[in-house]
A and B are shown apart, each in its own frame.
Chain A
């Protein structure tokens, strides 16, 4: 029983305090304290995350599961970045006073110009940008499906989308100067009305979920009754 009741009680106390902090300015300082506690707990949870990644991928390598080589590469990456970012600075501080360099790059630490920083900015950042860039092709393929006119609703969607697309580029105004105005009307009237309707519903859903948790009505995340 205590395993469920204590977390619910704690969630209610902290939750209601934060709700109060939102409405009563005199409680703001206490709210900031609680938020700082949350930041510390969140930072500590990264250890759990890394432990999970290492455990799962070590298992994959030791069992020689399919594509175990990728798991090996991942573990090597974690080991290298962990070593450069955390172990090396400690060793460096203990045994070496001056600059510690290899091929012009600082070896210890995570600040600008260090090997850690270079690896992050020259390996991870371009890979991340590539993933983001791929989105354009995914949008094209998804749009192709979305604009297939099969029903009257799909036809309406396709017509509205074509008007908005043409109205957003300079050629739209050249074809007919009313297209940008029509585009603005579509975006600011029917589109915005629908968006706000969804937003009101979602906001109420969010508030209600918060209330359910704070009142102890929703406790399925701690197991069933």
Chain B
């Protein structure tokens, strides 16, 4: 049996580069060097959405996608939920979190409870607003649409991994006039969100949310590491294309590309 799977070398290389850059950039950030993050309208709008819901005296709906906790988007959605819940707790606005996968429910409960505690408003936390609806995709979509139409949230946040139900949810939210912010890395659902939502976090923007909202140096350092890795990948792509055009296959062979 092989000690190391050579077909996975490019991924190993990317993780190694990203890891080294992350450590270096966190070190730079801790030394007080400011790292620039471009403005992301969708994330700026989160606070505006929370404020609007508070003014209107209506709840906020946070949908963490329909995938299980083994999807990194769902885990990241829980992290964003923590930030949103902390914001919401300060205003004491109801936060409704419909859940599709049972395993995600305790995560969402714990994240929200902790966020309310951190914000100093543990009494405002309502466990009845973390609602497990169904493991089935369209049963979940129907039940969430029911919540949107009956309880009329002023702000709908769709953050996580979505599939065919994305437009069903976003279009229903649009019809109720709620401010809508979506974020996903599922490429095929992005057009639906772009059309039906006020703001959409596209791919990597979704994963930038916590660094952007908290401005913690560790998280900002990681965000910059992603940017630098992208520059490296871009250079490799351009150089690799040029080399391949001249039938020089050194890079191709080094990266073990099939």
Q: Could you list which residues of chain A lie within 8 angstroms of chain B, going by C-beta atoms? A: 19, 22-26, 38, 41-42, 45-50, 52-53, 55-56, 59, 66-67, 70, 124, 127-128, 131-132, 134-135, 138-139, 141-143, 145-146, 195, 198-202, 204-213, 215, 217-218, 220-224
Chain A-chain B contacts (Cβ-Cβ < 8 Å), number: 185
The majority secondary structure among interface residues of chain A is: helix
Q: Are A217 and B26 neighbours in the complex by a CB distance under 8 Å?
A: yes
Could you say which residues of chain A place their CB within 8 Å of the CB of B226? 201, 204-205, 208
13 contacts between A and B (CB under 8 A): A22-B11, A25-B3, A26-B3, A41-B103, A45-B102, A67-B150, A127-B142, A132-B164, A195-B187, A211-B15, A211-B222, A213-B75, A220-B79
Q: Could you list which residues of chain B lie within 8 angstroms of chain A, going by C-beta atoms? A: 1-5, 8, 11-12, 14-15, 18-19, 22, 26, 68, 70, 72-73, 75-76, 78-79, 82-83, 86, 99, 102-103, 105-107, 111, 114-115, 117-118, 128, 130-133, 135-139, 141-142, 146, 150, 164, 167-168, 171, 185, 187, 190-192, 194-196, 202-204, 206-208, 210, 214, 218-219, 222-223, 225-226, 229-230, 233
Q: Pick from B14, B106, B138: contact of A131, CB below 8 A.
A: B138
Q: Are A209 and B207 neighbours in the complex by a CB distance under 8 Å?
A: yes
The majority secondary structure among interface residues of chain B is: helix
Cβ-closest chain A residue relative to B131: A56
Write the nearest CB–CB distance from B191 to chain A, whole angstroms. 8
Could you say which residues of chain B place their CB within 8 Å of the CB of A222? 114
Could you say which residues of chain B place their CB within 8 Å of the CB of A215? 22
Q: Are B132 and A49 neighbours in the complex by a CB distance under 8 Å?
A: yes
Could you say which residues of chain B place their CB within 8 Å of the CB of A53? 131-133
Cβ-closest chain A residue relative to B128: A56
Could you say which residues of chain A place their CB within 8 Å of the CB of B219? 212, 217-218
Q: Are A135 and B168 neighbours in the complex by a CB distance under 8 Å?
A: yes
- Expressed in whole angstroms, the Cα–Cα distance for A68 and B111 within the complex equals 29
Cβ-closest chain A residue relative to B23: A215
- Expressed in whole angstroms, the Cα–Cα distance for A202 and B187 within the complex equals 9
Q: Pick from A38, A124, A217: contact of B222, CB below 8 A.
A: A217
Could you say which residues of chain B place their CB within 8 Å of the CB of A128? 136-139
Of all A-B residue pairs in the complex, the 3 with the closest CB atoms, nearest first, are A205-B207, A49-B102, A201-B204
Q: Pick from A45, A47, A198, A220: contact of B210, CB below 8 A.
A: A220
Cβ-closest chain B residue relative to A200: B233
- Expressed in whole angstroms, the Cα–Cα distance for A135 and B8 within the complex equals 39
Q: Pick from A25, A134, A202, A220: contact of B1, CB below 8 A.
A: A25
